[in-house]
Structure 1
Amino acid sequence: MTSVADPAVQTDQLHLTAPVVAPRALSDTFVGSKYVQLVLVLGLLSAIGPLTVDMYLPALPELTTQLHATDAQAQTTITGLLIGLGLGQLVIGPLSDAVGRRKPLLMGLAGHGLMSVLCAIAPSITMLTVTRSLQGVAGAAVAVVAMAIVRDLFTGIRAAQLLSRLVLVMGVAPILAPSLGSALLKVTSWHGIFIVLAAAAALLLALAFFALPETLPSWRRRSARPVESLKAYASMFSDKMFVVMVVVAGLMFATIFAYVSGSPFILQHLYGLNPQQFGLAFGGNAFGMIVATQINPVLVQRFGPVKVLTAAVVGSALMALTLVLTTSTGFGGMAGFMVPLWFLVALAGLSFPNAPAIALNRHGEAAGTAAALLGSAQFLIGGLTAPLVGVLDNGTPVPMAGIMLATTGISAVLLLATRRRLSAFSFDD
C-alpha cells in the first residue's frame, strides 16, 4: 500500500476529477477482434512518423543535386522535421486534453497530407525545409494522440502490454522505410516519395475517421486556456517520479539514436561491410529489439513494469560497459562489437513500452500533456545526443559506445535511486 502522505500520491489524487471506472468501461469494449483492430490502427498511425523521417533518406543525394543545395542544407530538412515533431507535441498535447483526441488527430493527418504535397512541389531547399518542419508539427499530432489514447483506455500493466504491441508495428517501419524509399526511386523521383506519404496520410485519415472512436469523454476534458496548459506542465514538473521517467525515456531513446547515427559508418567503413551486409546487420539488431518488446507483456504481467524497466536499463548499462571494453581493446574484432551491441539494443527496447506506461499512469487526467512531454523529451534528448557521435568520432567505435554507456548509465542510476518510491505505486488494472 502507498502512504497517502506521499506528495506524488497527493498530486495524483488532486488531479483526479472523476471516478476512474468510466475509462475502464470504455476499455472493456476493446476485446478480441476489436482489440486487434485498435492495435493495428494505433500501430499504423504511429508508423507514419518513422516513415516520414526515413523513407526519403535514400533520395537525399538526388534531392541535394536538383535543388542546388549543399549536404548541410539538405540535412536541415531532417532537423526541421524533428524540431516540428518535438515542439508540436508540446502544443498539441494540452489541446487534445481540452477538445478530445479525434479532432487533433484528424487535423494532424490532413495537415500531414497537405504538407507532403507541398514538399513534393517545393522549388527550393528553403521551402522544403519549411514544409518539412510543418509536416513535423502535423505528425506530432498523430504521435501524441496515439500515446494519449493508450492511457485513456488502459493503465499500468495493460498499457505496457498494448505499447509493446505498438512497438512491433513501429519497429518495423524504420527498418523498411529506407528500402521502400529506394524501391520508389526506381520508378519515380524524390517528389514521388512525398506523394506516397501524402497518399498514406489520406488513407490513415479515412481509417481513423471510421475505425477510431473518441476516447476522452467531455467530463474528463480540461480548459483550453494557455494558462491552464502551463499549470498542467508545472504540475508534472513538480512530480519528481514523472520527471525521472521522462528523462529515462529520453536517454534510452538517445541510446538508440546514437546507435542509428554511428553504426552505418562503423560497420561499413571500419569493418568493411557492403550496403547489403550492413542491412542484414542492422535488421538483426532491430529484430532483437522487436523480440524483446514482444516478450515484454509476459514479463510485466509477472514482475510489473517497474522491475522490468529497471532490470532492462541496468542490463543495457552493463552491455554498454562491455561494448566500451571490447571496442577500446579490440577484443573479439567485429564479434566483440556486434554481440554486446545486439543485447544492448534489445534490452534498451524494453524501455520503450515500460517508461511511458509508468509515466502516463501517474497523470491520466492529462494524458495528452503527459504524452507530449514524453515525446518532446525523446526527440530533444535523442536529437542532441546523436550528433555527438560524429563530433567525437576518432575512427573507432569507442565514442559511440561511450555515449551509449553514458545514456544507459545515467538512466540506471536514476532508476536505482528511485526504485522504492516507484515500486510503492500499484500498476495493476
Structure 2
Amino acid sequence: MTTPFFRIALILGLLSAIGPFAIDMYLPALPSIGSDLHADNRLVQMTLLAFFIPFALSQLVYGPLADMLGRKVPLYIGIGLFAVASIGCATAGSIETLIAFRFLQGIGGAAGMVIPRAIVRDMHTGVQAARLMSLLMLVFSISPILAPLTGSAVIAFYGWRGVFFAVTIAAFVGLILLATQLDETRSREERSESGFRSTVAAYRLLMGDRDFLTLTFIGGLGISAFLVYLSNSSFVLINHYGLTPTQYSLAFSINAVSFFTVSQLTGRLGARFGLVRVMRLALTAFAATMATMIVVMAAGFSQLPVMATFLFVGYGFLGLVIPTTAVLALEDHGAIAGTASALMGTLQFVTAAIAMAVAGLFFDGTAVPMAAGIALCAVAAFILMQATVARRVVGAEAAAE
C-alpha cells in the first residue's frame, strides 16, 4: 500500500515522463528510421530537434495557463494533443511528415514537463519539496531505463512505427490517471488573481531575478550535458562501437540507474547539509568527472568501457544537481509557480537544443566530439555557479560571521 506522498510522486513522475518517453523509446530506432524513410543522419536527428524546440517554447504558454485555469485543464489539453500527434508519427510516410508530427508532439508533451513541477511547489517547499521532486525524478528516470529496452522489443516485433503507437497508449494511461487520481492543487481564488497582465508582470519579475536565472541555467546546462549524449548516443554506440539495439538500450539505461539512484539522496543530504551546499559539491564533482573524461578520451583512451565508466559516475552527481536547482529556483515564487516552472523549462530546453545543435555540427560518428560536448556543458555550469551562486554564498557566510 503506497503512501499519499509516494502516490502523488508516482503520478506526477508518470505525467512528466510521457514526453521524454517519446524520445528514449525510439532512440534505438533512429538508424532504422533513416533507412526506412531514406533520410540521412542529420535529417533523422532533426526529429529530435523538432520535438525539443516546441517542447521548450510551449512551456511559456502552459505555465500561465496552469496559473489561470488550474493545473489539470492544461494537462488534459497537452497530453491529448500528444496522443493525436503520436498517431501521426506512427503513420508518417516521409521524414518531413515525421518531423512535422514530432513538432506537434513536442507542443503536447510540454504540459507534462512544466505543470508537475508547479504542483510540487503548490504542495511543499524546502527539503520536503526536494524529497518529492527527487521521488518524481525517480519515476521520471525510469523512462531512460525501460523506454529504450521496451523500444527495442517493440521495434523487433512491430518496427519503429510500433514505438509511436506504444507512446499513444502511454498518453491515454496518463489521461486516465489525471482524471481519477490527481486533485486540483490551484484554488479558485488563486486562479482568479492570474491573468494576462499578471503573467507579463510575473515574467518581468522572473527575468529580473538573478538567483532564479542563475539556478535555471545551471540546471539547464546539466540537462544539456545529458541531452547531447542522448541525441548522439545511438549513432555512436550502435554504428561506431558496434552494439546491437538491445545492447545499446542496456548501455543507455545504466546511466539512468546512476542518475535516479543518487537523486534519491537529495532530501536526506539537503536536510543535513543544506540544498545549496549539496548543489555546489555535486556540480563540482560532475564537472570534474566530465572534464577528466574528455582529457582521457582525447589522449587515445576512447574505448567504450572507459567512456561508460565516466558517464556512470558523472551522471550520478548530476542526479543531485537537477532536483536541487529546480527546488531552489522555485522556492520564492509559490504564487506564480506555474509561470516560474514554465520559464525555467523553456530556458533550460532552449539551452539544451542549442547545445545539441552545436554538438551536431561537430559530430563525425565517433565518441570524442560527443564527449567534448558533454564536458563543455558540465564545465560551463560549474563556471556559472562559481561566478554567481558560490560567490554570494561565501559573502553571506562572511557577513554572518
Give the alignment's TM-score, normalised by structure 2: 0.88
Residue 268 of structure 1: CA displacement? Answer: 5.4
Is 1:164 aligned to 2:124, yes or no?
no
Q: Kindly, what percent of the aligned residue pairs are identical?
A: 37
> 1:13 maps to which residue?
none
Shift of 1:167: 1.4
Partner of 2:188: 218
Name the aligned partner's letter for residue 131 of structure 2.
Q
Superposed CA offset, 1:40-67 (max 9, x none): 1111111101211222334445545555
Q: Distance in 1 between matches of 2:96 and 2:245?
A: 31
Which of residues 238, 246, 259 is equivalent to 2:229?
259
- Residue 130 (1) aligns with residue 74 (2): no
Kept in 1: contact 2:146–2:253 (CA 8 A): no
Identify unmatched segments of 5+ residues in structure 1: 1-30
Q: Which has the higher Rg, Structure 1 or Structure 2?
A: 1
Equivalent residue in structure 2 for 1:90, among 32, 41, 60? 60
Structure 1 residue 263, shift from structure 2 partner: 4.4
Aligned equivalent of 1:78, options 48, 55, 60: 48
* Contact 2:144 2:256 (C-alpha < 8 Å) held by counterparts: no
Residue 331 of structure 1 deviates from its aligned partner by 5.6
Call closer, same or farther: CA 1:109–1:183 in 2, change over 3 Å. Answer: same
Aligned partners of 1:60 and 1:74 also within 8 Å: yes
Q: Which runs of 5+ in 2 are unaligned?
A: none
Alpha-carbon distance in structure 1 between the residues aligned to 2:23 and 2:234: 17
Q: Is the 8 A contact 2:302 2:367 kept in 1?
A: no
Distance 1:216 1:56, change over 3 A: same
Q: CA deviation at 1:88?
A: 0.8
Query: Which piece of structure 1 moves more, 398-407 or 229-238?
Result: 398-407
| C-alpha spacing 1:191/1:317, structure 2 compared with 1 (3 Å) | closer
- Answer yes or no: is 1:311 the counterpart of 2:245: no
Check whether the contact 1:330–1:336 (CA below 8 A) recurs between aligned residues. Answer: no
Contact 1:93/1:371 (<8 A) preserved: yes
Matches within 5 A, 1:2-151: 33-61=3-31, 63-64=33-34, 67=37, 69-151=39-121
Query: What is the CA–CA distance in structure 2 between the aligned matches of 1:67 and 1:409, rounded to whole Å?
Result: 38
Task: Report the counterpart of residue 293 of structure 1 in structure 2.
Answer: 263
Asked whether the equivalents of residues 49 and 139 of structure 1 are also in contact (C-alpha less than 8 Å), the reply is: yes
Cα deviation, residue 319, structure 1: 1.3
Pairwise CA RMSD of aligned residues?
2.8
Superposition deviation, residue 250 in structure 1: 0.6
Contact 1:50 1:177 in 2 (8 A): no
Contact 1:241 1:422 in 2 (8 A): no
Moved more, 349-358 or 252-261: 252-261
Q: Which amino acid is the alignment partner of residue 251 of structure 1?
A: L
Q: Displacement of 1:165 after TM fit?
A: 1.0
**Structure 1 residues 86 and 347, CA gap change in structure 2 (3 angstroms):** same
**Paired position in structure 1 for 2:333:** 363
Residues 398 and 112 of structure 1, relative CA distance in 2, 3 Å threshold? closer
Q: TM-score, normalised by structure 1?
A: 0.83
Note the C-alpha offset of 1:313.
0.4
What's the offset of the Cα at 1:252? 0.6
Q: What does 1:217-366 correspond to in 2, within 5 Å? A: 217-221=187-191, 225-267=195-237, 277-330=247-300, 336-366=306-336
Which residue is equivalent to 1:3?
Answer: none
Q: 1:419 is matched with which residue?
A: 390
When residues 419 and 130 of structure 1 are mapped into structure 2, their CA distance, relative to the original with a 3 A threshold, is same
Give the equivalent residue in structure 2 for 1:205: 175
The answer to whether the 8 Å contact 2:28/2:248 transfers is: no
Q: What residue number does 1:406 align with?
A: 376
| Per-residue Cα deviation, 1:211-253 (whole angstroms, up to 9, x for no partner) | 1001011222365544432221111010000010111011011
Name the aligned partner's letter for residue 95 of structure 1. Answer: L
Aligned pair count? 395
| Pairwise CA distance, 1:68 | 5.4
Taking a change above 3 Å as real, the CA distance of residues 120 and 336 of structure 1, as seen in their structure-2 partners, is: closer
Q: Say which SS state the counterpart of residue 350 (structure 1) adopts.
A: helix
Asked whether the equivalents of residues 70 and 185 of structure 2 are also in contact (C-alpha less than 8 Å), the reply is: yes
